[in-house]
Each structure stands twice: as C-alpha cells, then as structure tokens.
Amino acid sequence: MNTSATKTSTVTADGRGSSVPEPDYLALLDRVTSWVQGPGEEWSGRIEATGTVPDDLWKQLREEGFLSLAAPRDLGGTGLSFVQWMGLMEVFSRSHASVRMIVHVLNGTWRAMNPFADEAQRQRFVLPAVAGETVVAFTLTEPANGSGADITSSVRRDGDTYYLSGRKHLITFGVRCDYWLLFARLEGSTGRDGTVALLVDRNTPGVQVEDTSATMGVRGTDHASLTFTDAPVPVGNRLGAEGDGLAVALGGFLTPSRISVAMSCVGLAQRAQQLAVDYARQRTTFGKPLASRQAIAFSLAENAADIAAAKALTLTAAAAWQAAEPTAAALSSMAKLTAVDMLGRVTDKALQVHGGIGYWQTQPIERVYRDARAQRFEEGTNEIQKAVIAREILGGAAG
C-alpha cells in the first residue's frame, strides 16, 4: 500500500504543506517565463529610462496573479509549495531587479503577519496583502543600530494607543506602501522581550518620510528613511503580544526570505551567464569567435559550475525549510552567503567577457552588474550569515 497517497497535507500558517500538481506548476512556470522574456523586458527598458516603476506595472503583476503565488489557497494565494515557489523566483530574477523586488516582497510579507494575526487582522491586513491590493513594507532596520534586538525605536502606551518615536532607514517600498510592518520596543525595555510588531498606516500623523531611492542599482524601487515623533498607532494594529516583535520579524519570515534572495542570485547569475555566452558566440576577434578562446571558454565553464553549485545548495535549504527541519535556518544563511559570493564572481566574469563595451549602458550586462551588488545587503550581510552559521555549528560545543 502506498501510504503517501492517503496522507493528508497540513498547511501551516506560513504555507508549508501547500502545493499544486506538477502539470499545473509546469504550465505556470511556462507562463512566468514567457512574461519575463516578453512584457518583462519591455518594462525593464521603461524602468531604466525613467528611474521609476509605473503604477501600470504593479497593476499588471497583480492581474497576472504574480503577487499571490506563494501564499496558500485559504489566504487567496496559488498554493505553491516553497520549492515550487523558488523555481518561479529563479525565473523572475532574470528580469529587471525592481520586478524581482516587487514579486519577492509582496509574496513574502504575509509570512511574517499571518502566524500572529487574529481573524480581524487577517481580513484587514493579510488577505489584501496577499491579493496585492495593499503594500506592506517590512520596517526593521535603523540608521544607528543593527537589525535585531538592539532596535531603539520605542512606543509608550496610553490606553488603546501606542505613541511611536524613532527612526528607520533603507525601507524598501517605504514611500509608496500602505502600511509599515514596523518593529519597536516598549519604552524603557531591553532585549527581545520588550519588542512589538505594529502595522502603521502610511498616513499616520507624526511621521516624516524621506525618499532615498537614488541607488546604484535596482532602479525604480523606492526606499525611505522614516522619522516618527509620537506617532499614534492603535493597539489593535499590534501583531501578537507585547514581546513578540522579533518573533514576528525573524521567526517565519527571515529564513524563507533569505532562501528566496539566494535563488534570486541564481536567477540573475543565469541571466549574466546567458548574456556572456551570447556575446562570446557573436563577437569575432582575429577572424575567430570569442568563444573559441580558451580563456573565455574556461571563464564560462567556471560560471556554469558556480551557478549549479549555488542552485543545488539553495534548493537543499528550500526543501529543509519546507519540511520544517531544524537545520533550515543555518542552511538558509549558507545558501545566501554562497549565492551572493557566486553572483559577484559570475557577473564580474560575464562583464569581462564583453570587454570594455560591457561597461556601457547600451549593454544589458551593465545593469545586471549594478543590480547584483544589492543582493549583498538584503536579509543580512555576509557577516550576519556567517554569524548564524557559526552559532549553529558551535552551539553544541558552547553548551
């Protein structure tokens, strides 16, 4: 008897246990690939020319269902397994970095909210976010602190209202969002036990928003620096209990998000490699195609091996998280660390294959090269990833 055929899959609050039949998934993968290679390329040109992401692109992504792919069906999502979702992220990441950023963020923030939301909050915040009708900006990083228990933005409670003061920066979609999913601490507290997670309305009084979108790459994605001065936030907008703030921020969100960033590195590296291969085949020097030069061929071979290794590790991490294995957090950091370093090597070699012309904005590799550098900062630097990995391998010895 095949017991697996009779097993009932349980979908958790973060979507683990959900999946779609393989034929449906392959059809969806084909549709995403066609969009990335067709309309996605047209949007890329418009974004680079204007430096902004048009509202029409957000609308198209929503209408295509691309903002609701990763969530389970009971939240209005497509119900992909996490490993299936990573296959789509690999493809989306070959598109413009702002397209990838929109799809990555909007398919991820529900993971932080849903496990801690009550039913009223689920209806008000989670379901509209999954549908792509509202944009929730993850708001953790501060200019004078790291991205953990050392946050100093604080709230004081007066009845049914928190009054929020502090600063946040490098907040993706912090300008155009509908809500900031913001992490602060109770006034006078220290450590993780004093942290709270709040959904702060974008139009809350007492908030100063500075647009800081002028970046090296990922053009079109807005970023914000935020200053809060006694900004009122209803207690009803708190996710979980007082003291759950970092659990909301890090618990069900950070591990899968790091794996998603790792797969984004794989997809972007594949795009860089394909551009280099195409150029090497077309470019002729001294009467021979560039691809016939051993130095070029070896660089492309190294890239191919590098990409395959990073992809394999990322899929291992994705499967571990999907199965709720205890090694998933460390594997996610290993995957991101490895994939980020791989992407740097691959894009550098891919640009070098182009020679000097690769430095010009007329060449697609120039944008890919710029966008690749941003991956080092998403969901923690390489140094943070090493600390997570070291804690895992040394934990037993340290008692």
Indicate the SS3 state at residue 231: strand
Structural domain contains residue 8 = no
CB atoms within 10 A of CB 198: 24
Structural domain contains residue 97 = yes
User: Can you tell me the distance from the alpha carbon of 228 to that of 206, in angstroms, rounded to the nearest whole number?
Assistant: 6
If asked whether residues 287 and 385 sit together in one domain, one would say yes
If asked whether residues 270 and 238 sit together in one domain, one would say no
Of 221, 243, 265, the position where a domain reaches its end is: 243
Q: Categorize the per-residue pLDDT at 11 as very low, low, confident or very high, splitting at 50, 70 and 90.
A: low
pLDDT above 50: residue 8 = no
If asked whether residues 274 and 384 sit together in one domain, one would say yes
CATH number (domain holding residue 361): 1.20.140.10
If asked whether residues 142 and 175 sit together in one domain, one would say yes
CATH number (domain holding residue 83): 1.10.540.10
- Residue 261 to residues 196, 250, 332, 339, 399: CA-CA distances in angstroms? 26, 15, 10, 9, 32
Structural domain contains residue 121 = no
Q: How many domains does the chain have?
A: 3
Structural domain contains residue 313 = yes
> Each residue of 321-371: pLDDT tens digit?
999 999 999 999 999 999 999 999 999 999 999 999 999 999 999 999 999
CB atoms within 10 A of CB 175: 19
Q: Categorize the per-residue pLDDT at 396 as very low, low, confident or very high, splitting at 50, 70 and 90.
A: low
CATH number (domain holding residue 227): 2.40.110.10
**Enclosing domain of residue 351:** 253-394
Structural domain contains residue 204 = yes
User: Can you tell me the distance from the alpha carbon of 399 to that of 393, in angstroms, rounded to the nearest whole number?
Assistant: 12
- Torsion of the alpha carbons at 11, 262, 141 and 368, rounded to the nearest 10: -130
If asked whether residues 287 and 316 sit together in one domain, one would say yes
Look up residue 52 and give its DSSP letter. B
If asked whether residues 259 and 387 sit together in one domain, one would say yes
If asked whether residues 370 and 316 sit together in one domain, one would say yes
Structural domain contains residue 292 = yes
If asked whether residues 214 and 284 sit together in one domain, one would say no
If asked whether residues 272 and 237 sit together in one domain, one would say no
Residues near 85 by beta carbon (within 8 Å), at least 6 away in sequence: 69, 70, 107, 260
Of 86, 107, 128, the position where a domain reaches its end is: 107
Q: Select which of 42, 379, 383, 392 is catalytic.
A: 379
Residue 187 annotated in active site: no
If asked whether residues 291 and 328 sit together in one domain, one would say yes
> Each residue of 169-225: pLDDT tens digit?
999 999 999 999 999 999 999 888 899 999 999 999 999 999 999 999 899 999 999
If asked whether residues 84 and 170 sit together in one domain, one would say no
Chain-centroid distance, C-alpha 186: 28
* 255 within 8 A of 324, measured Cβ to Cβ: no
User: Can you tell me the distance from the alpha carbon of 323 to that of 81, in angstroms, rounded to the nearest whole number?
Assistant: 10
Q: How many CA atoms, within 13 angstroms, populate the side-chain half-sphere of residue 283?
A: 17
pLDDT above 60: residue 9 = no
pLDDT above 90: residue 389 = yes
If asked whether residues 379 and 329 sit together in one domain, one would say yes
Q: Categorize the per-residue pLDDT at 397 as very low, low, confident or very high, splitting at 50, 70 and 90.
A: very low
Look up residue 327 and give its DSSP letter. T
139 beta partners = 182
pTM tops 0.85, yes or no: yes
